[in-house]
């Protein structure tokens, strides 16, 4: 942990890699002492919802306390609710199968200290730029909960601009590993990599990401949203 997390409010957009709009997002993060609660909600144009709330502690290092993820609607082939207790290792996945029947997978996993569900952006902001390579763990709902490894590497710097200001963001590539026995349930599809762009410096910042929102899903782009203000109305004519 290099940077203490605090209060954050941000607005996000979710698009296909071709630029087609899918959803509008909201990020709300609050901190109480050494405990942080961060929630990201995406409301899709087709009525789908992605809602994740992660609670983590920050005492010299970040540690997952709990994570709750809800995905429902036509954008998600397998609607589900995933709850992870970082202390006990209990993982509960409620989902509907292909016939629409509700199923529950409830398991207790031996979770390592580096479980990164809901924490990836926070962890990447805290990586030292000179470090090129790291691994973390993640609980993947397939829909059965399984523990997989994520390999993080740098892929260079990409330039971008804000108005007349030019910047360079570090592009991190996150690969899913430890997939033995998982490819069959995913119909032979290897999960795509996730690319995350972080602006380094005294106050590192998330710029954008491209990757799946659910295990085995397509790569979608998340970016910061810009406010759109209504056009100023003509002043009323005095009579």
Give SS3 for 118: coil
How far apart (Å, rounded) are the C-alpha atoms in residues 79 and 95?
6
Alpha-carbon distances of 187 from 88, 212, 219, 226, rounded to whole Å: 32, 16, 17, 38
Per-residue pLDDT 10s for the chain (239 aa) are 889 999 999 999 999 999 999 999 999 999 999 999 999 999 999 999 999 999 999 998 999 999 999 999 999 999 999 999 999 999 999 998 888 889 999 999 999 999 999 999 999 999 988 888 899 999 999 889 999 999 999 999 999 998 899 999 999 999 987 544 444 344 455 678 999 999 999 999 999 999 999 988 999 999 999 888 998 656 666 55
Supply the pLDDT for residue 183.
Answer: 41
How far apart (Å, rounded) are the C-alpha atoms in residues 169 and 173?
13
Supply the pLDDT for residue 81.
Answer: 97
Start-to-end CA distance of the chain, whole Å, equals 64
How far apart (Å, rounded) are the C-alpha atoms in residues 122 and 25?
17
Alpha-carbon distances of 182 from 174, 176, 185, rounded to whole Å: 18, 11, 6
How far apart (Å, rounded) are the C-alpha atoms in residues 104 and 96?
9
Supply the pLDDT for residue 185.
Answer: 45
Supply the pLDDT for residue 215.
Answer: 84
Instruction: Name which of 41, 71, 74, 68 is nearest 56 in CA terms.
Output: 68
Supply the pLDDT for residue 102.
Answer: 92
Supply the pLDDT for residue 55.
Answer: 98
Supply the pLDDT for residue 38.
Answer: 98
Supply the pLDDT for residue 163.
Answer: 86
Supply the pLDDT for residue 234.
Answer: 61
């Amino acid at each position: 942990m290099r940077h203490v997390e605090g209060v954050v409010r941000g607005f996000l957009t979710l698009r296909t890699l071709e630029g087609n709009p899918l959803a509008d997002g909201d990020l709300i993060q609050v901190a109480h002492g050494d405990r942080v609660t961060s929630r990201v909600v995406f409301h899709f144009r087709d009525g789908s919802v992605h809602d994740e709330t992660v609670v983590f502690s920050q005492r010299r290092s970040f540690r997952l306390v709990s994570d709750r993820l809800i995905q429902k609607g036509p954008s998600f082939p397998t609607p589900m609710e995933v709850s992870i207790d970082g202390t006990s290792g209990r993982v509960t996945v409620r989902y509907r199968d292909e016939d629409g029947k509700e199923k529950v997978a409830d398991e207790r996993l031996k979770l390592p200290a580096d479980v990164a569900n809901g924490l990836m952006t926070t962890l990447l902001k805290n990586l030292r730029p000179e470090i090129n390579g790291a691994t973390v763990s993640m609980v993947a709902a397939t829909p059965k909960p399984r523990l997989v490894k994520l390999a993080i590497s740098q892929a260079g710097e990409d330039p971008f601009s804000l108005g007349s200001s030019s910047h360079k963001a570090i592009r991190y590539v996150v690969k899913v590993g430890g997939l033995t026995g998982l490819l069959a349930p995913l119909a032979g599809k290897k999960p795509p990599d996730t690319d995350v762009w972080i602006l380094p410096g005294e106050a590192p910042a998330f710029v954008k990401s491209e990757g799946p929102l659910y295990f085995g899903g397509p790569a979608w782009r998340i970016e910061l949203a810009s406010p759109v203000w209504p056009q100023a109305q003509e002043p009323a004519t005095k009579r």
